Amino acid sequence: ASVATLHRGLYVKAAQFIASIRGGTGDRGVPRAYLDALAVFTDHAPHQPVQKVAEVLKESMQLGGWPEAELNAGCDLRSIESEPLASASLAQVHRAVLQDGTTAAVKIQYPELRKEMASDFMVFKTMGAQIKQMSEGYDLTWVVEDFEKNLTRELDFVLEADNAEKTANELAHLTPTVYVPKVIRKLSSHRVLTMEFCDGLIKANDPAALHQVGLDIQECADLICETFAEMIFVHGRVHADPHAGNIYIRCLDNLGKKRPQLVLLDHGLYYDLHENDVRLNFCKYWKACCVKDSKVMQTLGQRFAGALHRFLPLMLSPWFIFGGSGVSLSEVLSAAKGQLPDTIGIRDVADFVVATREGGANLIGLLHSLGYTRGLLEALGFSESRRLSIMLKYAMLGDMPEPPATPPMLTWHQQLSIRWRVTLMGSHIQLLKPLVWPLQRFANAQTAPSVWLLLSLPVLFAAFSVGVVAAWSQPEPLRKRLRIA
């Protein structure tokens, strides 16, 4: 945390990632102490006085002699607050009032950022080269190269404005439930982004604050999961940074009933899943994981992640452990806790990420975004069964070359299929959970039995019980013969 505070820029970006990526890995992934220390960087990173960012702001606005002189009627702004509303890795946001009285949020890029980040990346590349030398060829320099490429795109606020407007158009059918603040183009530039100001925002990972304003936590979590699932499976565009500093909930009054509105901020970077048909194939892969179609999982998994495709289901959900064969009982316990199995180490995860990149599908950005949203949902107590149901719903709706821009309603048959598949997955894990210790202790078992065997046990027990009762209800001679036998 102290390093990020001192050096800002790239180091703050890394702190944001660590603070938000925990979802689905449990405390083995990122310890809680690290999350608590780094959470501040999602929206309250170190900022600069408004006087230092004034020159950048003047690139897109007429501000007269400000900040030395007062703003006047000839300026584009009537006023601007000196303290930022929020500050992050690349920019800080100030509330301002335009000359027509409109309240706006002005995002201003840090003036020295490009120069600082050039030297920061040089340091990171040097560290990567040293790690490669020390680890006998384990190359991490590509991580820095990808990071640099993506951050270069994020530094262009014109591109961010384009992304915001495209996302607003794609999700227009969800208005007013989902909202993207409008961009004020005439007061924006490559380093300044002026947007409509939204008040009453509540962090999406703060259940206490959501409950305090009268919102249903489950409804808020449903809205987050549904929206991001649609963006992935139907539209094939993935918000790169859906952490708590960019995803908010606002309370709307709908005929006396309080309903949540999801407000999406920071559209600087999106991942396009249309390249190499990743969107369509990911729909098919998610469906295969839910129905335990090992053949499709292997075929598409190899395309996505090469030789290490067996790790991909577990990166998506611990419940997908039954997609292959030979699932260990210890892995079942980890799945019941919603965590990665102990059998997967940090080196396995690193190798998997490398294989995913080399496979050509470039799923790293998608997995990154899914980790963020899982972290938000985990903070709201969202169940894994509900998350998988929603994701499966949109995987089914998106499983076509050109899905409709407005997803249709599922048929009753499709809804029943989703409920059955997810219930079957959850039942397999929950039925096995109390049996793990007896199976390991008394049967010396290591591999999990199939769900059909588990479901047959109550039937066999009931049949045995009926048989015993029937035998003892027979006439006395039969009971005597049974005793003799």
> Which residues are known catalytic residues?
241
Q: How far apart are CA 301 and CA 281, in angstroms?
A: 10
* Angstrom distance (rounded) from CA 225 to CA 242: 11
Angle between helices 141-154 and 113-134 (to 10 degrees): 170
Q: Which H or E element spans position 258?
A: strand 257-264
What are the Cα distances from residue 435, in Å, to 9, 49, 316, 440? Answer: 50, 61, 25, 8
Cβ-contact 189, 224 below 8 angstroms = no
Contact partners, residue 241, CB within 8 Å, separation at least 6? 16, 266, 268, 269, 369, 372
Phi, psi of 204 (to 5 degrees): -70, -15
State how far the Cα of 133 lies from the Cα of 114, in Å rounded to an integer.
29
Backbone dihedral angles phi then psi of residue 200, each to the nearest 5 degrees:
70, 25
Q: How far apart are CA 445 and CA 436, in angstroms?
A: 9
Find the helix packing angle between 346-358 and 141-154, rounded to 10°. Answer: 60
**Is 253 strand, coil or helix?**
strand
Closest of 130, 149, 148, 147 to residue 139, by C-alpha: 130
Q: Please say whether the beta carbons of 13 and 87 come within 8 A.
A: no
Residue with tokens 């790690």: 131
Q: Does residue 191 contact residue 277 with C-beta atoms inside 8 Å?
A: no
The CA distance from 295 to 53, in Å, is 56
CA neighbor of 5 nearest in space, from 27, 34, 37, 31? 37
Residue carrying the six token digits 């994701």 = 391
Nearest to 284 by CA among 420, 392, 425, 365: 392
In this structure, the chain runs to a length of 485
